[in-house]
Structure 1
Amino acid sequence: MNFKKVGLLILFMSILIIAACGKTEETSTEDATDKGETVTYENNYELALGTETDSDTEAVKETIELPKNSDKVVVMDLGVASTFAALGLDDNIIGLPKGDGNSVLGKELKNFEDEKFANLGGLKEPDFEQVAMLDPEVIMISSRQANSDTINELKKAAPNAKVVYVAANPDTYFDDVKKMTTFLGEMYDKQDEAKKLVEDFDNKVEEIHSEVEASEKSMMFIQTNGGDLSLHGIGGRYDFLYSALGFKSAGEVPDEDTQKQAATSHGNQVSYEYVSKNNPGIILVMDRGAAISDGKDATKIDVIKTEVTKDVDAVKNDTIFELDSVTWYLNSGGYKTAMSQLEEIHAIVQGSK
């Protein structure tokens, strides 16, 4: 009788062990399946075949499968880093460019100053050794890295990583910000959160557009760099100010006597005479020099006030406004940074009444 009980006990324990093993194997299979899930991304951009501004380019168009819910992402586009932050996905980024002393991180990216996020150096010259140590699954680049030399080095440093272009283009700026927000929502199963962010964004754009239209003042966007003035007009780097927000441009195309044509993202060089001639009601000033140096506390509004411009409406009415150069020049193109830009424009329109 005792032998029978022992035999039954052994049989019963064997069944439990087999069942447990089967369950463990099933769980492991499910985990592996989940881990292997991907999301489709359309990689579409112009690749510069050198690092010079006038280098030849070639179109890159490819469909790439990115691992869902990856927590090994390197983000070279600081605007898109702000989109990760808006969705509560900061910790899925393992490294990003911070510059010396976090100099290229604006107020929207303060969280990334934490040392747990690796510093990958400058925006145009990544620390490839640091990238190799991180062994990322995904590398998200912007136009500053979209050249053959940089991408080849990134691929050498992280041969298993998917390299994708995520920057917002000037002519589709707001749409691209929303698309990237939606895409990250899909990649990280945060579709509802992304949808709400996009709705809030659309509402903010509509609100600012109504305010701009009601102001009826012409606007001139001037970028300063040392003693130089450059105009950002319709069709340029900040075209969304005109096409999406409705500003009327003061002085659309500078004449040959007052400018040097420069078809770059730095705008077209203009003179003080040009500013005076076109008489803007509002002047936005962005100091590129402050963005790329440590002189962020320098005020550049007074640069516009000269004997030549003293009769300009914006000068007489004190409607010259300095933009946050780090946000606009270095960190633009993501959800939180674009919302900051909209908030700045809102304050400017209110202040110009």
Structure 2
Amino acid sequence: MPRVTPAVLVSALALTLAGCGATAQGGSDGPGAVSGAAPSPAAPATITVAANNGTVEVPTRPQRVVALDNSSFETLEAFGITPVAAPKQLLPENLGEWARNGDILDVGTHREPKLEVVAQAQPDLIIGGKRFAKVTPDLQKLAPVLDLAPSTEKDGYVDALKKQTQTLGEIFGKQAEATQLITALDRSVEAAVKESSGQRAFLANHNGGRLDNGAGRIGVLLQPLKVTDVFETKADNASVHQDSGLAPETVAQKNPDVLIVMDRDAAVSSTRDTATPASQTVAAQKAWAGTTFMKNDAIVYLADNFYVTEGIQAYTDAYTKIADVLGKSTGTSS
């Protein structure tokens, strides 16, 4: 399909809105609707948000939402929001209902975004994110774009998750639900911090049936903990797509106390149904037989969909698992 220029998209959107009149806001029962929300007024109230893409004036209780940010998908779903468009190939398996919903338009992937589909969806808010950051300027010509996605290449990931959740709660009138999610995260982090006491960890990425250094993507998990990365890896989102040539013997020489595994193979739509489970690949590493983490069974397997979620629910689950494994390995878990 030929790429449609932003100018053409804006013109097409204006014509579509003129022809559709009041239906552009959508009904309370259709995609984009917020459970329990009143219909959008003629001049909806707005709030000003400091986002990754600058200061954004955002409508409150928007009725037609395009969801592009994987770290907020589960939060939107928890708030009872059904988007009018989303990147269906990037949706986690637990949001299969969105993927199967024919009323939700498919905007493609971040590699080949279909901006004309976003225009067709007639959004009054686009929730952007790191995967779609390059097309944010084009998207801003269609509707307000709000990018609150936490960055794995910056400090303070947990605080950024809480800010993201709180802000979305304010926008959609779901403050109570947002508070519940934040409280659950705080409790899981507190439990993990309590069990951390200077342990050394190898953060692995299971990709292509092999285990590589995944600290560039999941190293932020250690930020609030008294746990260090055995390789002291610099944060780098792109590293999960690369083969660093790390040998199992190199990991064994470092002898980590704990292994934390992100299974990218299990998360990606093209491989998740046929991939070897990460646990099977770990068990097959003969060089690791004598390591501390293998002898103590101190292995944390992040949720299969972690790579395509990375939101507050994913990190709450991760810290809960880390607390449990660290507690068992030190004999302090009840």
| TM band (smaller chain) | 0.7 to 0.9
Find the aligned partners of 1:280 and 1:344 in 2 and give their Cα distance: 17
User: By how many angstroms is 1:153 displaced?
Assistant: 4.8
Give, in whole Å, the separation in 1 of the partners of 2:40 and 2:214. 51
Q: Looking at CA atoms only, which structure, 1 or 2, has the larger radius of gyration?
A: 1
8 Å CA contact 1:285, 1:322 repeated in 2: yes
The alpha carbon displacement at 1:271 in A equals: 2.0
Match of 2:80 in 1: 89
Instruction: Label 1:33 to 1:321 Cα distance change in 2 as closer, same or farther (>3 A).
Output: closer
> Which amino acid is the alignment partner of residue 282 of structure 1?
V
Contact map agreement 1:299 1:322 (CA 8 A) in 2? no
Find the counterpart in structure 2 of residue 341 from structure 1: 318
Aligned in 2, Cα 1:114/1:349: closer, same or farther, shift over 3 Å?
A: farther
Measured in 1, the distance between the counterparts of 2:203 and 2:40 equals 53
Secondary structure of the residue that 1:41 maps to in structure 2? Answer: strand
Match among 171, 183, 191 for residue 199 of structure 1: 183
Q: Distance in 2 between matches of 1:341 and 1:106?
A: 18
The one-letter amino acid of 2:205's match is Q
- Aligned-partner residue type, residue 52 of structure 2: N
**Quick check: 36-45 or 71-80, which moved more?**
36-45
In structure 1, what residue type is equivalent to 2:322? Answer: I
* 2:109 paired with 1:122: yes
Aligned pair 1:301/2:279, yes or no?
Answer: yes
Please say if 1:112 is aligned against 2:102.
no
Q: Would the aligned equivalents of 2:46 and 2:58 in 1 still touch at CA under 8 Å?
A: yes
Q: Is the 8 A contact 1:223 1:229 kept in 2?
A: yes
- How far off its partner does 1:136 sit? 0.7
The verdict on how the C-alpha distance between 1:124 and 1:266 changes in structure 2, with shifts beyond 3 A counting, is same
RMSD: 3.0
Residue in structure 2 matched with residue 320 of structure 1 by the alignment: 299
SS at match of 2:196: helix
Counterpart of 1:330 in structure 2 is: 308
Deviation at 1:132, TM superposition (A): 2.1
Alignment size in residue pairs: 283
Q: After superposing the two structures, state which structure 1 stretch, 69-78 or 238-247, moved more.
A: 238-247
Worse-superposed segment, 133-142 or 287-296? 287-296
State which of 250, 253, 265 in structure 2 corresponds to 1:274: 250
d(CA) in 2 for partners of 1:135 and 1:33? 16
Specify whether residues 198 and 295 from structure 1 end up closer, same or farther in structure 2 by C-alpha distance, changes over 3 A only.
closer
- Correspondence 1:247 to 2:227: yes
Distance 1:309 1:70, change over 3 A: same
- 3-state secondary structure, aligned to 2:150: coil
Contact 1:76-1:96 within 8 A present in 2 as well: yes
Match of 1:70 among 52, 62, 69: 62
For 2:80, give the aligned amino acid. L
* Paired amino acid for 2:165: T
Q: TM-score, normalised by structure 1?
A: 0.69
Secondary structure of the structure 1 residue equivalent to 2:57: strand
Structure 2 unaligned runs (5+)? 1-38
CA distance change for structure 1 residues 262 and 335 in 2, over 3 Å: closer, same or farther?
A: closer
| Higher mean C-alpha displacement, 269-278 vs 189-198 | 189-198
The 8 Å contact of residues 205 and 211 in structure 2, kept in 1 or not, is answered as yes
Residue 262 to residue 40, structure 1, CA distance change in 2 (3 Å)? closer
Q: Distance in 1 between matches of 2:185 and 2:126?
A: 26
- Partner deviation per Cα, 1:114-169 (whole Å, 9 max, x = no partner): 5143333334333333222211111122111111xx335545xxx33112222112
The residue identity in structure 2 corresponding to 1:151 is T
Paired residue secondary structure (2:318): helix
Q: Which residue type is aligned with residue 239 of structure 2?
A: H
- How is 1:1-353 mapped onto 2 (pairs within 5 angstroms)? 35-45=43-53, 62-86=54-78, 88-91=79-82, 93-99=83-89, 104-107=91-94, 109-113=95-99, 115=101, 116-147=103-134, 150-151=135-136, 153-155=138-140, 159-170=141-152, 171-213=155-197, 217-226=199-208, 229-233=211-215, 236-252=216-232, 263-266=236-239, 269=244, 270-292=246-268, 293-296=270-273, 298-304=276-282, 305-327=284-306, 329-332=307-310, 334-349=311-326, 352=329
TM-superposed deviation, 1:351: 5.6
Q: Which whole-Å CA distance do the structure 2 matches of 1:280 and 1:123 have between them?
A: 36
Query: Does the 8 Å CA contact 2:157/2:220 hold for their aligned counterparts?
Result: yes
Percentage identity across paired residues of the two chains: 27
User: Given the superposition, is the C-alpha separation of residues 247 and 207 from structure 1 closer, same or farther in structure 2, using an over 3 Å criterion?
Assistant: same
2:285 and 2:271 mapped to 1: Cα distance?
A: 26
160-169 vs 240-249, greater mean Cα deviation: 240-249
With normalisation by structure 2, the TM-score equals: 0.73
Determine the C-alpha separation between the residues in 1 that align with 2:81 and 2:100: 11
